[in-house]
């Protein structure tokens, strides 16, 4: 828990610093002050509202015991096994099989699954997936992943500073704005990938196996999701690629960046670890 709080604080500080540097390039000291204030405000907003923003991005619809009886009761049973408060439960109308968790802490958590994953997986496999998402909640991964997704999307607003600090005879700031726009996206992506460790997926896989008591079910689900997700575009994820790291499997049709900046570990490696847990009687 302390490690995740440290990573969250580091991420938020880095975002504010990035805003400040860009503001200084565009408008000197005054621009830096305005940008720092803007960056701080974005961070505060993201802490309290990032989960709601992500759910809106995916047009997620909340379920209750009446509207989603079997699925809702499954999440409730797993939450009790994990010793967690009951999260809010959402469904996303997307054919791609996928799922994610969000929220700043276990008391304000939400889990979401697509209609595609509900149709494709068996009840046993779906139970493994939702146990994985609840493990993210229990490990408090959701705060940093949700904030980073929201802030990464907001970084594009930095380009608007050019409207305030450029213009007139000052051609150089306009050139700097163009360079910032060109390089800002990969810089933001690298920042997110440094903050969102691939190790958290392994941790959630293990935690999900412990919560469900069925590592093989999650392994089977991951293989199915991997096989179908690549060929089934998810429109909301394509529009908001910064949220890809929140999903149980990368939802983007273009695939993950290889190597250092991959958002998820290789699925087969995750499967092999889960099968090893099963053999060892986890």
Which residues have a catalytic role annotated?
133
CB atoms within 10 A of CB 71: 18
Q: What share of the chain is helix, strand, coil (3-state, %, to 5)?
A: 70, 5, 20
| Alpha-carbon span 83 to 138, nearest angstrom | 9
Residue in this structure with the two tokens 């293989």, named with its chain if needed: 223
Token output for 122: 């068996």
Token output for 106: 């276990």
Q: Coil, strand or helix: which one is 95?
A: coil
Residues whose CB falls within 8 Å of the CB of residue 169, separated by 6 or more in sequence, listed in order: none
Residues whose CB falls within 8 Å of the CB of residue 148, separated by 6 or more in sequence, listed in order: 11, 192, 195, 196, 242, 245
Token output for 29: 């000291």
CB atoms within 10 A of CB 112: 26
> Cβ(128)–Cβ(208) under 8 Å?
yes
Token output for 250: 């990368």
- Closest-CA residue to 225 (of 73, 114, 61, 64): 114
C-alpha distances out from residue 207 to 134, 203, 245, 260, Å: 8, 6, 18, 24
- Closest-CA residue to 211 (of 162, 268, 282): 282
């Amino acid at each position: 828990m302390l490690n995740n709080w440290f990573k969250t604080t580091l991420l938020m500080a880095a975002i504010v610093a990035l805003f400040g540097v860009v503001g200084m390039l565009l408008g000197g000291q005054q621009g830096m002050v305005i940008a720092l204030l803007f960056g701080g405000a974005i961070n505060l907003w993201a802490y309290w509202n990032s989960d709601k923003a992500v759910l809106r991005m995916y047009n997620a619809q909340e379920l209750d015991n009446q509207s989603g009886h079997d699925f809702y009761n499954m999440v409730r049973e797993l939450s009790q096994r994990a010793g967690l408060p009951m999260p809010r439960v959402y469904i996303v109308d997307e054919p791609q099989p996928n799922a994610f968790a969000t929220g700043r802490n276990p008391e304000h958590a939400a889990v979401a699954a697509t209609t595609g994953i509900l149709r494709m997986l068996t009840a046993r496999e779906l139970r493994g997936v939702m146990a994985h998402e609840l493990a993210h909640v229990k490990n408090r991964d959701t705060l940093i992943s949700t904030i980073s997704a929201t802030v990464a999307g907001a970084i594009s607003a930095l380009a608007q500073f050019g409207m305030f600090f450029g213009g007139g005879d000052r051609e150089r700031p306009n050139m700097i704005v163009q360079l910032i726009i060109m390089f800002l996206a990969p810089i933001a992506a690298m920042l997110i990938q440094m903050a969102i460790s691939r190790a958290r997926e392994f941790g959630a896989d293990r935690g999900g196996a412990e919560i469900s008591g069925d590592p093989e079910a999650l392994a089977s689900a991951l293989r199915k999701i991997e096989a179908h997700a690549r060929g089934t575009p998810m429109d909301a994820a394509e529009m908001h690629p910064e949220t890809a790291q929140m999903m149980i499997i990368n939802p983007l049709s273009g695939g993950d960046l290889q190597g250092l900046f991959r958002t998820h570990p290789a699925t087969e490696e995750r499967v092999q670890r889960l099968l090893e847990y099963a053999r060892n009687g986890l």
